[in-house]
Structure 1
Amino acid sequence: MAVDDVVLINDQWYVLATSSRADESTRVLKHKDTFAVFDRYGDIQRLGMGEQGIYHQGTRFLSYFELSINHRRPLLLHSTVKEDNTLLTADITTPDIYQEGQLVTRKGIAHIFRSKLLWDGVHYEHIRLFNYGDKALNLHLEVRFEADYADIFEVRGAKRRKRGQVLPVQHQGRELVFSYRGLDNKTRRTRILLSQPPDNQNEGQIYFAIELLPQEKKQFYFTIACEIETSKPAILTYQQALANSNQAVITARKGIGQVRTSNEQFNGWLNRSAADLQMLATQTEHGDYPYAGVPWFSTPFGRDGIITALQYLWLNPQLARGVLGFLATTQATEENAAQDAEPGKILHETRQGEMAALHEVPFWRYYGSVDATPLFIVLAGAYYHRTADRIFLETIWPNIKAALHWINHYGDCDGDGFVEYARHSADGLIHQGWKDSDDPIFHHGGKPAEGPLALCEVQGYVYEAKKIAAKLAALFGETSCAAELEHQATLLKEKFNQAFWCEEIATFALALDGHKRPCRIISSNAGHALFSGIAHPEHARCVAETLLSEASFSGWGIRTLATTQSRFNPMSYHNGSIWPHDNALVAMGLARYGFKDQVQQILGGLFDASIMMDLHRLPELFCGFDRLPGQGPTLYPVACSPQAWASGTVFYLLQACLGLTFSEEKPQVRFHHPRLPEYLQRLEITNLRFGNAVIDLTLRRHLHDVGVNVLRKEGDIEVAVIV
């Protein structure tokens, strides 16, 4: 690794995002409930956190997969994932080849092309060899497979007292099968089909003796199917699977609005983000649901799904409908301390896999998040404003009322008007806001705050939820309910600004502890109070200045915790790192109060960060070190990438800059004081749909404003620009 690839901080080395080594574990494919993490060669190695592998329904079905030539690893030329995330390709070449200590073939004579894709629980691989030399090559192609059937929680580090039985590997002609009988009495199999019989095979290793004449091409295909009990996926040819995958991308894009700008680097960020959202969106009986992230969170999360749907709502409202439908169906209906469940509470996460089925972890269905429930109502209201889909809202109105009941009765456990959390499950999450690590809530000086804890941002979400629910109640003719909710929201806003405002740090307290003492900490959470509109305008201006100060804004983005705070650590998960989605929510809050210059500052920092990231993909989070000339941001070593709400960030930031909203009454698309940064001279929005109407727009940046022109309009829709 080159010296410029790393930085030394507190006696530990961290990899820069600009390093060629930073992407070794970030070659990711996903389709439905199957995902794969490869190294850049397309292999599966035991490196880093050991997270590489092919996973299906919460279990790793292949834990080792390595291709070698004449007992040596090939040389990597290039690898990438196609822009639409359907295909991983790697160009590699033969190394120096020796026989009895003598060099017989110099490196770079044969080209080896690998391409890989996932489709319906099956991994398909194409290997093509071509001899560019002037004499025949005798090559020994060896492929090694292993399957450990580790549950995703084992891969993350959980230790199990007992595991199921790994069965002997079965070899038969062009097929080898790995098997595991789990403690849940399910047999999981990894069935590997080869396009031609190997010349030799033994215990998961296969060998091909290849004579490759000058200018000759030879091809191999591997098919790896994930089976559980009698559930066997359909096996297609590589060409059929690739055609299906390409068609699925085309079909999915038809109903989604598209954005393109005059800046090709910005387009790279937009395109990768849209492709990641499409890849992470997984079909359920209620519609698509964005799985939170690969590898650790490839499953439905309530909070993550809601925020991702909000970010992408203006371009793809059907994703929000899928999220709302799924969460309404999985809403808790009874008290269950082991799951942190209470009637009306919205799901935190749900898991498949052996450990979840056996309740070795509480996450089969787990409800330990304090914010998903009010955010569910926020998304419902935003979806209605975006679509005017009253019929669907009526179907989930009982779920919205159940969520309101949870907020007022279970959420406000001490009756003081604020929503608090305290876990009930012995194995559940200690902290249940979006900062859900072990140590994010504390007092000045670093002392942990004792619960139950009332988080700053959660009160804002509750305020917004009640305002929205009041409008929906009026829509459905429940006028007394609407009036009561408006009254509750007004009281909450006044009480919040009195109890949470900390004049000495010019921002809102991070939280109130169990004794109602404010945690006087400068954190990004305060920006969410602007997002919800609960902050008084004079307080909002102070928060904006505080969050864009040098202590909070690194140059790449707003830190979760200011550098002046006692627990600040730029390498921590929640106490000094930078989370793209967090910045997007803060930016939307800044736009709500008219601070468009600050919105553009955040957009510019994260855009610059995306340029430095592999594949233009913003990860879940990255380290909060100061931006330095000539250096990219520093990666957080185990961040998910892709991560749904990180992928949604660019779309929410653009919406904040443009002040783009919808009115269901007109119907109308509105731009409130639109602004574009100087590196985006032109922006095109196409296929923007509202009901049966569709519109294409072009926006051009001027010195003090943005011009909006209609390129195409079909159906009943208006465009309004408010300056």
Structure 2
Amino acid sequence: MAADDTTATVQAKIERAALAHGFQDADEVLPPYHIEAQTSLVDRPLRSLKFGEAFAVLDSFGDIGVLPGPEGLYFQDTRYLSRLEFTVEGQRPLMLSSVMQDDNGALSVDMTTPDIRIDAHDETSIPREVIAIERTKFLFRGACYDRIGLRSYDSRHRNLRIVVSFDADYRDLFEVRGTDRTNRGKRSVQVASDREVQFRYVGLDEVVRTTALHFGPKPSLIEPGRVEFSVSLAPEGRASLFIRVVCESHKAFTSAPSAERIGEHAAAGLSHASGSTPVRPPKDLPEGNVFARAYRDARRDLRQLTAGITTIISSNDQFNEALCRSTADLYMLATRTPEGIYPFAGIPWYSTVFGRDGIITAMMALWIDPNFAKGVLRYLASTQAKAVDPAADAQPGKVLHETRRGEMAMLGEVPFRHYYGTIDGTPLFVMLAWEYYSVTGDRETIARIWPALELALAWMNDYGDRDGDGFVEYARDTDKGLENQGWKDSHDSIFHADGQLAKGPIALCEVQGYVYAAKNGMAKLAAMLGHDALAETLTNQARSLREQFDAAFWNEEIGTYALALDGAKKQCAVRSSNAGHALFTGIALPERAARVAETLLSKDGFNGWGVRTIARGEARYNPMSYHNGSIWPHDNALIAMGLARYDLKAEAARIFQGMFETALYQDQKRLPELFCGFMRRRQRGPVSYPVACSPQAWAAAAPFAFLAACLGLELDHGRNRVRFRNPVLPAFLDGVTIFNVKLGGSHLDLRFQRHDDDVTVSVLRRRGDAQVATVR
């Protein structure tokens, strides 16, 4: 498509292609679990907070629900607060600044009062800019804390009427996303005291969900949905208002709960996860003190979570800001579970455990903090499927795709309570296990999850290979499951060159690569544990799969590996980013690598910002789609890692450059989940996707993967060696210093300096005996 195509032209071409290929009818029906959008998430700045199982989507004022959209305070996949608006004398304040703190610990908003007329017939009673308003909001252990501080710079005494309006609709997250519901539970609201209003919702799943709003100091008026404060400010005077919103849920037992029912309750996932149980302060403790204690504890918790991680400082201040935001996003999304920390996938739509997302995030962040990988491995091992369950697309050994705690999931209205409809999560799980061990040497964790790794291997060989042809394929077991079960899981993302949707079972290009890497990794783990026969078998299976993959997937005409094989083993001869994952896993033959890279980085594949999911010119190419022409940072990071594996460092650096320049145009220099694939134009930034998650875990981890790929970083615990293979730095980086690179008991500070096309490596500090080597 030409660079000057308009959006209307793009849509016209899509429609003509649909008519020509006869698949327009299927596209006219919205697919299940579609994210409906009447408003865009990019039409106004939104702010996100998260702690544990709670997250908040706020407008730049720190309010909720003033305009339609996904704003709200959510807990366990339910919106517990759908409106919270703060006004002064009936007016919104004037915005001065709205920023997330550097570590995402809190939202800080500076405002001032507008020109206020107490009586419409009088002149301005209070001129603007004489009263400063500072708002601080954060989440901690199932509660949202809100402080509104006022300071007068006026010479006169001022009396202000401040109103806070609020509501709680208890909509399931899938309702917020656009899924219709016929029946709902019962909601009620009451003034619980002169400082508290409580909403209560009894769901059809027999779960009681409550939202308690606590106010301090005592409001002058309190009623359901509204409180008023009368604030008196002397010259140079100060005042503070506090709002604490506590979210809780419990099972509504109609009689004394039996041990069996308590067990059902726990199995349903309704007990509070670590870090989600609200703090219960003493009843007589002023709200200001409650706020201060929670703020202190939240800061302490974040410091503990990030203690000892690897950090990076570069010669480029803007890149430093982007890395700071990525680090903050990763640890905001990190959620404590009984098995360790797990990066929830993204806000607002995916703030929960996703198997694939967690694994890939952990892979990319492995050299920064291996605790992500440890937590992901242990959690997914503990939730691995043990039986066949068609409604959940589950078979023994399969790794979890997604888990949800909302009413619709509990009732089975959506299948995602514990859902296993992912074809790639299981081989990725095994792949991560080897990568984690190779960096950490943590034999204890591998031994603990070894039975789960064996089950995962058995699943790949049995249920995963449905027809016994050596490839792992998918087909959903019920019509409620996801139609496509790779990372591109849109209903129309797997298709043939003529645009016809592929019929399953479908063998995806990248999944065969994941299986290849998983078997190679499992072979090394088996050898480490003394299972020599298994190690030899797996090594031979991986070698055979590589040869078979090349024969079945390579397409000389399109110059790359096919997107997939359909149920008849016919190639989906489509140029896609999936082929880059064949480089990432090493399944691509060395003689194919340069050709794959050339196709990926052609004008049809690379738009100047990144590699498109589907190349321009393919039948279903649409730069505004979710998976058929858009650009995903994590996808590009895996491609860059693959290019580096085959020593195509200049190509990897080119993608890194495009992604860094993308970040410069984003709010807070945060890479989003995805963005549109329109061709790059001079003096214009990339085009945003309307409902992209931001932050998104694997997008946050992507910059670390880009840097590691370009440096050729290899951490090898077995050889006690940190190696850099043919390191390069992109043009925007003259130098990089990495602090606290960890290998076993060793800690290293390393300095990289670019000299034209050469990069030198210096050891600034070494504690321990790990060796540093550079290979060119």
The answer, yes or no, to whether TM exceeds 0.5 is: yes
Q: Deviations over 1:437-491 (max 9, x none)?
A: 1100111121111111110100111111111111112222222211111111111
Q: Give the equivalent residue in structure 2 for 1:10.
A: 8
CA distance in 2, matches of 1:185, 1:560: 43
Is the 2:139–2:145 Cα contact (8 Å) retained in structure 1?
A: yes
Shift of 1:141: 0.7
Give unmatched runs, 5+ long, in structure 2. Answer: 12-39, 252-271, 282-289
Q: CA deviation at 1:70?
A: 1.3
Provide the C-alpha distance between the structure 2 equivalents of 1:101 and 1:671, rounded to a whole number of angstroms: 74
In the alignment, the residues of structure 1 paired with residue 415 and residue 687 of structure 2 have an alpha-carbon distance, to the nearest angstrom, of 33
1:427 CA displacement: 1.1
Indicate the residue corresponding to 1:633 in structure 2.
686
In 2, the alpha carbon distance for the partners of 1:571 and 1:648 equals 24
Counterparts of residues 414-433 of structure 1 (less than 5 Å): 414-433=467-486
Q: Structure 1's 131 and 473: CA in aligned 2 closer, same or farther, altered over 3 A?
A: same
Inter-partner Cα distance in structure 2 for 1:563 and 1:102: 63
Which residue in the other structure is 2:228 paired with? 207
> Greater CA deviation, 361-370 or 137-146?
137-146
Cα distance change, pair 123–195 in 1 and its aligned pair in 2 (3 A): same
Deviation string, structure 1 residues 256-283 (Cα, Å, up to 9, x no partner) = 1111111110001101001100111101
Which residue identity is paired with 2:388? E
Work out whether 1:110 is the aligned partner of 2:110.
no
**Deviations, residues 326-369 of structure 1 (Å, cap 9, x unaligned):** 00111111100000000110110111122222222111110000
Select 1:87's aligned residue among 106, 121, 126.
106
Q: 1:323 to 1:23 in 2, by over 3 A?
A: farther
1:10 is paired with a residue of what secondary structure?
helix
C-alpha separation between the residues in 1 aligned to 2:313 and 2:418? 39
Partners of 1:456 and 1:525 within 8 A in 2: yes
- Of 696, 699, 703, the match for 1:646: 699
CA–CA distance in structure 1, aligned partners of residues 302 and 450 of structure 2: 33
Q: CA deviation at 1:10?
A: 2.3
Secondary structure at 1:113 match in 2: strand
Asked if residue 470 in structure 1 is aligned to residue 523 in structure 2, the reply is yes
1:143 and 2:188 are equivalent in the alignment? no
Is 1:531 aligned with 2:584?
Answer: yes
Partner of 2:83: 64
Structure 2 residue identity aligned to 1:135: R
Cα deviation, residue 171, structure 1: 4.6
Where does residue 255 of structure 1 map in the other structure?
308
For residues 202 and 496 of structure 1, the distance between their equivalents in structure 2, rounded to whole angstroms, comes to 67
Equivalent position SS for 1:384? helix
1:449-598 mapped onto 2 (5 Å cutoff)? 449-598=502-651
- Is the Cα–Cα contact under 8 Å of residues 170 and 177 in structure 1 kept in the other structure? yes
CA deviation after TM superposition for structure 1 residue 11, in Å: 9.2
- Residue 191 of structure 2 contacts residue 222 of structure 2 at CA under 8 Å; is this kept in 1? no
Q: CA separation in 2, counterparts of 1:320 and 1:681?
A: 31
2:116 to 90, 97, 116: 97
Match of 2:62 in 1: 42
Summarize the alignment of residues 83-482 of structure 1 with structure 2, pairs less than 5 Å apart.
83-98=102-117, 99-104=119-124, 105-229=126-250, 233-235=278-280, 237-482=290-535
SS of 1:505's equivalent?
coil
1:699 lines up with 2:752 in the alignment? yes
- Residue 25 of structure 1: CA displacement? 5.0
The one-letter amino acid paired with 2:705 is Y
Partners of 1:661 and 1:597 in 2: CA distance: 18
The SS at the match of 1:504 is coil
Partner Cα separation in structure 2 for residue 8 and residue 498 of structure 1: 40
Shift of 1:253: 2.1
| Residue 22 of structure 1 pairs with residue 42 of structure 2 | yes
Q: 1:681–1:371: structure 2 CA closer, same or farther, 3 Å change rule?
A: same
One-letter code aligned to 2:683:
G
Q: Deviations over 1:468-517 (max 9, x none)?
A: 11111222222221111111111111111111111111011100111111
**Contact 2:649 2:710 (8 Å CA) reproduced:** yes
SS in 2 for 1:404: helix
The 1-side partners of 2:94 and 2:689 are apart by 28
Aligned equivalents of 1:180, 1:434: Cα separation in 2: 35
TM-score (norm 2): 0.89
Counterpart-to-counterpart distance in 2, 1:323 and 1:608: 31
> Does the residue aligned with 2:757 lie in a helix, a strand or coil?
coil
Asked if the contact 2:10–2:622 (Cα under 8 Å) also holds between the matched residues in 1, the reply is: no
SS of the aligned residue for 2:748 comes to strand
CA contact (8 A) 1:96 1:103 kept: no
C-alpha offsets along residues 667-689 of structure 1, whole Å, 9 cap, x if unaligned? 11111111112321221111222
Partners of 2:678 and 2:612 in 1: CA distance? 9
Give 1:16's aligned residue: none
Where 2:668 maps in the other structure, the secondary structure is: helix
CA-CA distance at 1:630 after TM superposition: 1.5
Q: Per-residue CA shift, 1:507-542, capped at 9, x if unaligned?
A: 111001111110111110010000011111221111
Whole-Å separation in 2 of the counterparts to 1:601 and 1:368? 35
Q: For residues 449 and 486 of structure 1, what CA distance do their matches in structure 2 show?
A: 32
Query: What do the CA deviations read for 1:361-395 (whole angstroms, capped 9, x no partner)?
Result: 11111000000000001100000100111222112
Q: Output the CA distance in 1 between the equivalents of 2:469 and 2:67.
A: 50
- Answering whether residue 708 of structure 2 is matched by residue 655 of structure 1, we say yes
- Once the two structures are overlaid, the 10-residue window that deviates more, 293-302 or 199-208, is 199-208
Q: Is the contact made by 1:559 and 1:624 (CA closer than 8 Å) also made in structure 2? A: yes
Amino acid at match of 1:486: T
What is the deviation of 1:161?
2.1
Question: C-alpha root-mean-square deviation of aligned residues, in Å?
Answer: 1.7
Letter in 1 for 2:344: Y
Q: Which residue of 1 aligns with 2:34?
A: none
Once the two structures are superposed, the pairs formed by residues 676-695 of structure 1 within 5 Å of their partners are 676-695=729-748
**What residue ranges of structure 1 are gaps of 5+ in the alignment?**
1-6, 14-19
Q: Partner letter of residue 354 of structure 1?
A: E
The answer to whether the Cα contact below 8 Å between 1:333 and 1:343 also exists between their aligned partners in 2 is: yes
Aligned partner letter, 1:28? S
Secondary structure of 1:436's partner? coil
| Per-residue CA distance 1:93-120 (angstroms, 9 max, x = gap) | 2122121243423332221111101010
Distance 2:97 2:6 in 1: 28
What is the distance in 2 between the residues matched to 1:610 and 1:495?
A: 39
Distance 1:705 1:615, change over 3 A: same
Matches of 1:714 and 1:64, distance apart in 2: 53
Q: Say which is worse superposed, 284-293 or 472-481, in terms of deviation.
A: 472-481
Cα distance change, pair 525–263 in 1 and its aligned pair in 2 (3 A): same
Checking the alignment, whether the CA contact within 8 Å between 2:340 and 2:376 is kept in structure 1 is yes
The amino acid across from 2:664 in the alignment is: I
Over the matched positions of the two proteins, sequence identity in percent amounts to 49
TM-score by length of 1: 0.96
SS at match of 1:97: coil
Q: Is the 8 A contact 2:172 2:406 kept in 1?
A: yes
Distance 1:244 1:721 in 2: 43
Q: Aligned pairs, how many? A: 710
